[in-house]
Structure 1
């Protein structure tokens, strides 16, 4: 079996919706406030929509008001961080450690009363949810 990071664009297109492909594989962003998990607070686990890897537990999700699902921490080892210098700024991109799918960005020091003082700003389309 081929590692999911090694799938071709054609293989990814066969298993992802066009919007999932645009965000997960081409580093797109869904419009703020449009994702189904922004205001979703059920108990369970958020998984990568590309490969099913558990990424975030619901007890790390919080209301940030940013328009995307926000988490203060990921499942250990599930998310990789990369410097992103696009759009004339420096940010920290987060990707699924298993398949390399783009999830969103991490922001630090915003003053939220969370244990890590981080906001993992994640595209809903990059996630699935299991209760």
Structure 2
């Protein structure tokens, strides 16, 4: 391993707990490392719908049952609506009955997390590791084996069918 790669990986070690519940190996951390964008939130306003901007960069929540992604059943990838980073694989989507698209796990290394006390009790909010856009909250009432429910705002995602090419990441 080159010295630069090793130093980059070592710099990620303090952030590993933020990347998801499952610990990553050093090799996975290097392979899945995401370079955060240094782009002010206001610059995203021109690229997004007002609803998507409100959810992604003002931590709003869309109304339950309002997303067409709730009914999406095709194979593909769910990407961040702002920067296009792949966040979820379709095989990890399931019907939670909550009214929001729900997943059993994200793509490793593509989410950051923080504690959220907006409803007077602690929750774990997660966001895109690249642009920082708010996606939703993760709960411990999901299906086995992980027991996680990654409850996502549909407006914060774009679905790309397996038959389509993923768009280039926005910068």
Both proteins in one fold, TM over 0.5? yes
TM-score with structure 2 setting the length = 0.71
1:126 and 2:142 are equivalent in the alignment = no
* Contact persistence 1:72–1:115 (CA under 8 A): no
Deviations along 1:51-102, whole A, 9 cap, x unmatched? 0000000000001100000000000101111111112111000100011000
Task: Say which of 88, 105, 113 aligns to 2:143.
Answer: 113
1:11-50 equivalent positions in 2, closer than 5 A = 11-50=43-82
Deviation at 1:5, TM superposition (A): 4.0
Q: Which residue of 2 aligns with 1:94?
A: 126
SS in 2 for 1:10: helix
Gapped runs of 5+ residues in structure 2?
A: 1-34, 162-171
Q: Within 1, Cα distance between the matches of 2:124 and 2:37?
A: 20
**Cα RMSD (Å) of the superposition?**
1.4
Structure whose residues are more often strand by fraction: 1
Q: Which residue of 2 aligns with 1:70?
A: 102
Deviation at 1:4, TM superposition (A): 6.5
Gapped runs of 5+ residues in structure 1?
A: none
User: Rg larger in 1 or in 2?
Assistant: 2
Deviation at 1:41, TM superposition (A): 1.3
Structure whose residues are more often helix by fraction: 2
Consecutive aligned runs of 4 or more in structure 1 exceeding 3 Å deviation: none
Q: Within 1, Cα distance between the matches of 2:42 and 2:125?
A: 24
Q: Within 2, Cα distance between the matches of 1:4 and 1:31?
A: 29
Deviation at 1:8, TM superposition (A): 2.6
